[in-house]
Amino acid sequence: TQLLEQSPQFLSIQEGENLTVYCNSSSVFSSLQWYRQEPGEGPVLLVTVVTGGEVKKLKRLTFQFGDARKDSSLHITAAQPGDTGLYLCAGASNFGNEKLTFGTGTRLTIIP
Amino acid sequence: SAVISQKPSRDICQRGTSLTIQCQVDSQVTMMFWYRQQPGQSLTLIATANQGSEATYESGFVIDKFPISRPNLTFSTLTVSNMSPEDSSIYLCSVATTVLNEQFFGPGTRLTVL
């Protein structure tokens, strides 16, 4: 069974600070996604990474896929209250029509 | 990306009853999934809904408790049978539309069992 452990589980920081969320596994993934979920809604896809060592930027969010494709990180610069939510990483073992394994989740609260 | 709707958005049910949740997609998709999300937790996959055949259930989930229908490529239902308070959760459907296994989710159904 593949497991994706996220850390920290909870994070509460002041607006304007930087933060990093980690997603770790002992398994290799062909692709890894990050989702954000707000209360009362389903998760929304933020990014997909597929190449070991890949770095993708989405405005103030920077995503990195580990060289061995077993781990990933999400870095947020100058956090804003709108970044508040549950962040989930999810991995797939193969390309095409595969179910995802979801991480344990990081609940982020940005204090104005 | 696909647009997904779920009905009902929330419900409060009595112990021992059953509830059927509907998931409608605005385009034909091959892969549809049903998840459970318990309060404050991550997503747990219940099953993959297969069009024209029986759903594929994950370990710990059985067809008698969570029967699933998938009559066509745009619609699926999940029934939560003989409910108990432990079934109180958010139930989410999702679709996968790309070779990268990216999934798009419905808004969820919040179920409370008394």
- Could you report the per-residue pLDDT of B12-46, keeping only the tens digit for each? 999 999 999 999 999 998 889 999 999 888 999 99
Residue A1: predicted pLDDT: 58
**A65, A48 Cβ separation under 8 angstroms:** no
Residue A99: predicted pLDDT: 87
Q: Please, which residues have CB within 8 angstroms of residue B71's CB and are 6 or more apart in sequence?
A: B51
Residue A33: predicted pLDDT: 95
How far from chain centre, in Å, is Cα A102?
10
Mean pLDDT of chain A: 94
CA–CA dist A37, A48 (Å, integer): 16
* Strand, helix or coil for residue A60: coil
Residues pairing with A5 in the sheet? A24
12-71 in chain A: CB under 8 A from chain B: 31, 33, 40-45, 48, 50
33-72 in chain B: CB under 8 A from chain A: 33, 40-45, 48
